[in-house]
Chains A and B, each alone.
Chain A
Amino acid sequence: MTPLLRLTDVRKTFGGLVAVNALSFEIEAGAIVAMIGPNGAGKSTVFNLITGVYEPTSGAIDLDGRTICGLKTHAIAGLGIARTFQNIRLFAFMSALDNVMTGRHSRMRASLFDSLLHTPAQRGEEKRVRERARELLRFCGLEREADDYARNLSYGHQRRLEIARALASEPKLLLLDEPAAGMNPREKSDLIELIRRIRDSGVTVFLIEHDMHLVMNVSERITVLDHGEKIAEGLPEAVRNDERVIEAYLGRETPAG
Chain B
Amino acid sequence: MDVFLQQLVNGLSLGGIYALIALGYTMVYGIIELINFAHGDVYTLGSFFALAVLTGLGVSGEVHGPALIGVVLVTVLAAMLCCGLTGVLIERLAYRRLRNAPRLAPLITAIGMSFILENVMQLWRGPSPVSFPSVIPNPIVHLGPIDIGAKQILVIVTAVVMMFALQLFIYRTRLGKAMRATAQDRDAAQLMGIDINTTIALTFLIGSALAGAAGFISGVYYGTTWFFNGFEAGLKAFTAAVLGGIGNIAGAMLGGFLIGLIEAMATQYIPQGAQWTNVVVFSVLVLVLIFRPSGLLGESLPEKV
Contacts and interface: CB of A to CB of B under 8 A. Distances in A.
Indicate if A touches B (C-beta under 8 A): yes
Interface of A: 14-15, 19, 44-45, 48, 54
A19 B305 contact: yes
A225 B216 CA distance: 63
B305 A45 contact: yes
A14 B303 CA distance: 8
B302 interface: yes
A33 to B, nearest CB: 22
Contacts of B302: 14-15
Interface in B291-305: 302-303, 305
Contacts of B305: 14, 19, 44-45, 48
Given A14-B302, A15-B302, A44-B305, 6 more contacts: A14-B303, A14-B305, A19-B305, A45-B305, A48-B305, A54-B303
Contacts of A45: 305
Interface on chain A toward B: helix, strand, loop, or mixed SS? Answer: mixed
Interface in B265-305: 302-303, 305
Contacts of A14: 302-303, 305
A168 B303 CA distance: 29
Nearest to A44: B305
Contacts of B303: 14, 54
9 contacts: A14-B302, A14-B303, A14-B305, A15-B302, A19-B305, A44-B305, A45-B305, A48-B305, A54-B303
B102 to A, nearest CB: 11
A19 B305 CA distance: 9
Contacts of A54: 303
Interface in B23-53: none
Nearest to A40: B305
A44 B304 CA distance: 12
A23 to B, nearest CB: 15
B26 to A, nearest CB: 25
A14 B305 CA distance: 9
A45 B305 CA distance: 7
Nearest to A14: B302
A45 B302 CA distance: 14
B298 to A, nearest CB: 16
A119 to B, nearest CB: 34
A54 B305 CA distance: 9
A55 to B, nearest CB: 11
Nearest to B304: A14
A17 B303 CA distance: 12
B301 to A, nearest CB: 10
Interface in B41-82: none
Nearest to A15: B302
Nearest to A54: B303
Contacts of A44: 305
A45 B303 CA distance: 12
A11 to B, nearest CB: 15
Nearest to B301: A15
Residue among A14, A19, A44, A45 with max Cβ neighbours from chain B (10 Å): A14
Contacts of A19: 305
Give the 3 A-B CB pairs with smallest separation, nearest first. A14-B302, A15-B302, A45-B305
B132 to A, nearest CB: 51
A114 to B, nearest CB: 30
A19 B302 CA distance: 13
A44 B303 CA distance: 14
A2 B305 CA distance: 31
A12 B303 CA distance: 13
A14 B302 CA distance: 7
A192 to B, nearest CB: 29
A121 to B, nearest CB: 36
B159 to A, nearest CB: 34
A131 to B, nearest CB: 34
Interface string B81-102: 0000000000000000000000
A48 B302 CA distance: 15
Nearest to A16: B302
A92 B193 CA distance: 33
